[in-house]
Structure 1
């Protein structure tokens, strides 16, 4: 592009009427303005962070008037130029701190479509005016998180106006550079950009029956509002325009007669604090969102479908605590294939059963009591496991090693007590050995006594009690215990006793 063509292109733009030809000639020698996607993050950007929205809007107007950035140079779709619509989107971003705009918020504020807002946000990033701090996420079943941006000033802006920057802290990143001066040749252009940043670009107001206004609105024409007639929140810096000078207050007689409206906005009387009262559909969606977040078996379900399933209880004024109490009354679930379908079955007729707040309060108390009992039971289980298995010595897991250890203990006890005959004087202090036959030996027992002992051991073994067999093995030895109870019963009892010490096996309950 030649210097003359660039000057004509700049001066034809309504946002560029204050740029003289000498400045345009200086701008033409600058390289094309484009930031790739990998450099659109705060950690990788080459620009510097704008301290406030007013100075950032000066850089935005400079990019709009320089013509260095052309969107169609790198892609074939979207807007053709960095124009007034992009500036209007930038004005909304300059008023946010932190800059975390949602797409729906910008659509509501600018009147543009969702796709158009996304296009212009991408143009601001490609021009080096925005950088990602945190990129937004959209996860099914969870609320969408908006992206957070940092307002950036591209290095081409500092080079064009002769702005000098300094890094006051050597350990700080490069994007924290601060302005320490400006060249004399760039002061005039900076003042013009300051006046543009003090004004606000707005959508034109179309009149009914005016074809020209409708045509201008379709073409995206904008109206520039002077700073004297409208207060600008970001009006600071080199601009000398006062926002308080243009404030208009109607006379008292017009206010009294109702001909003029009061400049003070009235708060809504629908709810305290001026907030809108939540609608029926809003209550359904709020309850559905809380249920998806708190119930594990509802994770991944669509919030609109859960809202439709829980519409009856939501209309009845139920909260998520009421729903959880009702689900506790219906019974806990262990395997769920389709969460929304199960919720529809469990909530059928719930609003007719717990139809009063008192009934729902009683259900909540029962649910909380069950939660407290389950918590105490878990604490007791952990305490018993710790006291049982966290001692100084642990039983070996190998069955053969257990046999060797039991034989060694039996020999030590036999030597300490003076032989097998000393067992006649043994008195058992535990309740688990009360049915163990104690005498001169197992060979002296009658057949009916052995049968009775085996039946008692088998019944206790079916209930998970292995004390008779383990005590017999520890005191009499493995051979005598097998002669008393039989090899199969002793082997089964020792297997269960070994499995009871493992956290991977439980018995005695389902």
Structure 2
């Protein structure tokens, strides 16, 4: 039952007994009176969209008008139906309703509402239950909690109870929960305007309340501390102290000199020094630099994807301690033949390629020169790929058609071969140059011997990228000093033949 007041005279009101509900009468549209509103309570069976007697709110703003009306109507008392939970429809419930009005679709999780409101799980569930019992929320889909599966949140429909329409004289059209508002009684327009003002105002997050037991302990503690202070200071300059004294109760507080106050350099004796480092990050130690380099290598090198970062950090520990960057490592791997597509064990290949690297490029100047050569080689490779694409388009999109006769095709291939030989200096000229200069095989060094062996192995498989990049970036003379004139000549001939449309290279 609900307490209300019955109007007896124009200036006096009388409270009804506690066990009798006497709501105030309300004037209707036609000037008569209507029946008093019953208690606002929706049973659990009618808390679904299909069984609800209310109508769907057109938007969150209109729904908040209904929420504020329920909060101020006094038609709902949760403690009449259960002995636990909140005692009334208060500001916390309105704040949760405000959070729900911002969601579309309205499918909040309990953890989300706990973060937004600062309440515990049970409190959030109690306030959601209050919104359902007042007819403001209706289940569309009820959440599930199954063992072994992630919990599913419930989806709600924002509803306006029929008591709201009856109290304000709202006229609707349509059937079921899809009814829409068509008008309102003249006497209720001011009430609707006040509800609109409340709905437009944002409700603040409720502050946590301290228990009475904690407050009483704090009060007793404050009284005891006050009494101790009064005894130690003999008397205070307050009415409760019983007199005044010229002795200050500030203790041994020292003030800074006026010179520091004037210059603005006075510091608080309790101020703590900030441990923040400029830039917002702490300086990495040796182990941190190793892991940072390893992480960058696994991100930029395709054949190191999926490798363990600690293992790569251990493999690259020498170059990381020497101050190498990921760009320096990529430049070194390029000249060592680290541009591979498929690797069975990336950490093993990286360890073999980085062997004695910090001893060869032992200065920043050498590393910078290697990086410049690597970038030049990349640019040359990019231009070469562009030229290949252009040649291919010209070959397939041009007017020239390949001859169908095998004899003519053989003659054309021989003509193209002669043209390429003349363009490369001729076969005899290359053979004589190679025979006359047997000593120009490059400097005797284990590193260069390994590079020549790798280039020769790639040349046997028909791959000339390593020698071509060296020729494009450093020139043919420098490439011949490194790899030898014979390897450079063979690589150039093979590359020229590969550019022809009449020659096809395959691997066996």
Q: Normalising by the residue count of structure 1, what TM-score does the alignment of the two structures yield? A: 0.37
Say which one has the larger Rg. Answer: 2
Q: Normalising by the residue count of structure 2, what TM-score does the alignment of the two structures yield? A: 0.37
